[in-house]
Amino acid sequence: MSNWRNGITSLFSSWKLLLFILISLLMLFLISFQGYIISKQSTKKIEDQYYRTIVENMDSISVNLSNYLNYMDDFARALSNNPDLIQILQTKDEGDRRNKVEEQLQSFSEYYHLRLPVNIQVFDSGENVFAYPAINDAEGSRLVNTISGFPWFSHRIALDNNFLHWNVTSDFHDSSSSNVLYVSKNIIWNNESLGLLVIELNGAQIERMLTRVQINRANPIFIFSGDMQTLFHNEEIPQIIDKSDDSIRSVYKKVKDQNRDEGEADIRLAVGDYRLVYKRIAATPWTMVSLIPPYLLHADSVSIWRMTAVMAGISFLFIIVFFAILHAKVTTPVQRLSRIISESGNGAMSSDSYSYQGFKEIETLNVGIHQFLGKIQEQVQTIKHGESEKRQLELRVLQEQMRPHFWHNSLNSLRFLAVLHGDPTMAEAILSLTRMLDYTLRNTHVLYSTLEDEKDYAMSFIKFQEIRSMQKIRVELDMDKYSLSAHVPKFTIQPLVENAIVHGFASPSERESLIQIKSRIIGSDLVITITDNGKGIDPSEVPKLFEIGPRRSRSTPGGLSLVNLRQRFRLEYGEPYGVEIDGCLGEFTKVTVTIPYSTTEQQGEEGIIS
């Protein structure tokens, strides 16, 4: 129980980690919410697209049906007013009249290029039936019975004879087949009825047209009349829908109640809910109705919703697994290591190893921390051991500090004796040596000095060498005043001057010994050149001066000082800074030192100036 409490306390104490988890969960929620918005918008667009597709299809079919019916209207009016047909119907020869009427119907049909599945019949005043294609007597009787059943038939003479009658009922050829459309018109001559023209249009053509409107087999399409009777439907009606059911009439009633030419509505039938889309067919009292099951509209959107839910679930599971691994393999080990370091900072260092297997970086960190703490413990023991020795060394340091003063005071005494004995040369030599010793022993911990101090030290060394070797050395100084305040490593110029004297002027020469010291600030660099007119150097021998190996010893003139200076500058400043040598054998030797330009004010804590 205490472990759980400690874990919860640790979790809340690590508020940054908790904030990270909350932000991650918020991001997951935002991603899921974005998926929800996208899915919702996609669903709306899919439903709108389906609706537009259905409406466009219904518009197209409505136009086709209107054109189809108008075409038949024109055909019926033209045929009923055809003079040749009227003249034939007025003849009294029954046998000859049948053949002529049927030939006239055929020729007129061919003239109009009718490709539609139609049957053309004419009733004369004696109720004789003429037909193209030809029909038998039984079919003629069924046709008469069918037509006479229409409500307008008994009053057809009294009605407007220019009016066409549109009726839909079963096919007189086969009553079990689909409905057909009958277009009827009186044939009138001088206000006398010569007969009745009846054109039968096969309903299969209309059914095929309605089938093309469907978006799915489960989407039935109906055409109903103004008195809410089903006229036509698509070729295959779903079995769950009965076209004679009262629920279909409720659909027609809902459409009529809308009192609009087109629109949509939701409706509940006995077999389930449907989306109702309707459109009135122009120039007719007919209305086309499409019943769409909701799942058809949502089929694609359901897939999107399902995919969104699956992706959200996978993302959530991934986040849980990720945080579990993060907690077990990152958070807990880091907290453990942090606690070890915190305890070590308070002095309670522990050498107990912490076994961890997981991320290689944390494994390395774990091993490194324990090795580091082990080293610290060793250092602590070493420091404790060294403290006892430090007290003993302090006394020795005090004793050693007395020695520079002893030598300085001794040299000053010798210089005073030389002056008393009238030896100014010896006095001057001792003065130069005293200045050199003072520069060397003063602030021995100092690593840097100004270029001006370095120049003064080198001049004291040259003066001492002149007296020691009894050889006059002329020195030419060409040093930019701004460069004199530059910050340079201590003992930069003197070793190079010493090389010039010891190496360049070692052999006797008739020429006056000359050393030129020049300094300039070039860009951000300080460039110092020291040139002597001694024996010079062969350029091919220059690389050997910087060789480091067993052959290089202190007996080699200029060897160690040049190597040490070059390594010192390279370590301090890196490439391309350092020492370069140029010369000509028997003429001159030129040493160039290039280091970054820095003043005492710009130097940090390492730039301690003597």
Express each pLDDT in 140-192 by its tens digit. Answer: 888 888 988 888 888 777 655 677 888 888 888 887 777 888 999 888 888 78
C-alpha 542/C-alpha 314 separation (Å) is 72
C-alpha 457/C-alpha 438 separation (Å) is 10
Residue 479 has pLDDT above 50, yes or no: yes
pLDDT at 521: 94
DSSP 15-47: HHHHHHHHHHHHHHHHHHHHHHHHHHHHHHHHH
- Residue closest to 205 by CA, chosen among 223, 218, 219, 217: 223
pLDDT in tens, 495-542: 899 888 888 887 777 788 899 999 999 999 999 999 999 888 888 888
pLDDT at 483: 92
- Residue closest to 186 by CA, chosen among 122, 236, 126: 122
Query: Domain residue spans in the chain?
Result: 52-296, 443-602
- Residue closest to 439 by CA, chosen among 458, 417, 457, 463: 457
Contact status, residue 231 vs residue 182, Cβ threshold 8 Å: no
**What share of the chain has pLDDT > 90, as a percent?**
9
pLDDT in tens, 229-249: 888 888 887 766 766 667 788
C-alpha 208/C-alpha 546 separation (Å) is 103
What CATH homologous superfamily does 443-602 map to? Histidine kinase-like ATPase, C-terminal domain (3.30.565.10)
- Residue closest to 28 by CA, chosen among 394, 375, 320, 290: 320
Higher pLDDT, 375 or 303: 375
Amino acid identity of residue 341, one-letter, is I
Residue 575 has pLDDT above 90, yes or no: no
C-alpha 543/C-alpha 540 separation (Å) is 7
Mean pLDDT computed over 401-416: 60
pLDDT at 509: 74
pLDDT at 216: 80
Residue 303 has pLDDT above 90, yes or no: no
Domains 52-296 and 443-602 share a fold: no
Q: For residue 596, is the peptide bond before it cis, meaning its omega torsion is within 30 degrees of 0?
A: no
What is the DSSP pairing of strand 473-479 with strand 513-522?
parallel
**What share of the chain has pLDDT > 70, as a percent?**
79
pLDDT at 42: 73
Confidence of residue 484 (pLDDT cuts 50, 70, 90): very high
pLDDT at 592: 94
Residue 356 has pLDDT above 90, yes or no: no
Residue 57 has pLDDT above 90, yes or no: no
- Residue closest to 237 by CA, chosen among 256, 198, 210: 210
pLDDT at 605: 42
Residue 221 has pLDDT above 60, yes or no: yes
pLDDT in tens, 96-125: 788 888 888 888 888 877 666 688 999 887
User: Across the chain, what does the average pLDDT equal?
Assistant: 78
CATH topology of domain 52-296: Beta-Lactamase (3.30.450)
Higher pLDDT, 529 or 409: 529
Residue 263 has pLDDT above 60, yes or no: yes
pLDDT at 526: 94
